[in-house]
Copies of this chain bind each other. A is one copy, B any other.
Amino acid sequence: MKKEIIAFQGEKGAFSQQAARQFLGENVAVLPCERFELVYMALRDGVATGAAIPIENTLHGSVHENYDHLLNFEVTIVAETSVRIIHNLIAPPGTKFRDVTKAYSHPVALNQCLKFFSTNSNIRKETFYDTAGSVKMLMEQRPRGAAAIASSVAAETYGATILKRSIEDDRQNFTRFFLLRPKNFRALRSATNEKSPFKTSIVFTTRNSPGSLFRALSALALRDISLTKIESRPMRGKPWEYLFYLDFLGHSSDEKVKNALAHIREVADFLRVLGSYPAARSA
Decide if A214 touches B210 in the complex (CB within 8 Å). no
Q: Please report which residues of chain A, range 113-149, place their CB below 8 angstroms from some CB of chain B when the two chains form the complex.
A: 127-129
Q: How many copies does the complex hold?
A: 2
What 1/0 mask marks residues of chain A from 219 to 249 whose CB sits below 8 Å from any chain B CB? 0110011111111111011111010100000
Decide if A232 touches B234 in the complex (CB within 8 Å). no
Name the residue on B nearest A61 (C-beta): B64
Name the residue on B nearest A64 (C-beta): B61
Residues of B contacting A127 in the complex (Cβ-Cβ under 8 angstroms): 127-129
* Assembly CA distance A62 to B234 (angstroms): 9
Decide if A240 touches B282 in the complex (CB within 8 Å). yes
Q: Say which residue of B107, B128, B209, B239 sits within 8 Å of A174 (CB atoms).
A: B239
A211 within 8 A of B: yes
Name the residue on B nearest A174 (C-beta): B239
Decide if B234 touches A210 in the complex (CB within 8 Å). no
A170 within 8 A of B: yes
A24 within 8 A of B: no
What are the 9 A-B residue pairs with the smallest beta carbon separation, nearest first? A214-B221, A211-B221, A210-B226, A58-B239, A239-B283, A61-B64, A58-B234, A214-B217, A172-B237
Residues of B contacting A236 in the complex (Cβ-Cβ under 8 angstroms): 58-59, 170, 172
Name the residue on B nearest A82 (C-beta): B239
5 A-B pairs with CB atoms under 8 Å apart are: A59-B234, A214-B221, A229-B232, A239-B282, A240-B283
* Assembly CA distance A230 to B60 (angstroms): 16
Residues of B contacting A174 in the complex (Cβ-Cβ under 8 angstroms): 239
* Assembly CA distance A239 to B224 (angstroms): 23
A166 within 8 A of B: no
Decide if A233 touches B129 in the complex (CB within 8 Å). no
Given contacts A61-B64, A172-B238, 15 further A-B contacts (CB under 8 A): A56-B234, A59-B234, A61-B232, A61-B233, A61-B234, A172-B239, A210-B224, A210-B226, A211-B221, A211-B226, A211-B227, A213-B217, A214-B214, A229-B242, A230-B232
Q: Say which residue of B107, B210, B237, B283 sits within 8 Å of A227 (CB atoms).
A: B210
A218 within 8 A of B: yes
Q: Say which residue of B57, B82, B128, B225 sits within 8 Å of A210 (CB atoms).
A: B225
Residues of B contacting A244 in the complex (Cβ-Cβ under 8 angstroms): 230
Name the residue on B nearest A128 (C-beta): B127
What distance in Å separates the Cβ of A131 from its nearest Cβ neighbour in chain B?
14
What 1/0 mask marks residues of chain A from 173 to 212 whose CB sits below 8 Å from any chain B CB? 0101000000000000000000000000000000001110
What 1/0 mask marks residues of chain A from 37 to 65 whose CB sits below 8 Å from any chain B CB? 00000000000000000001111111010
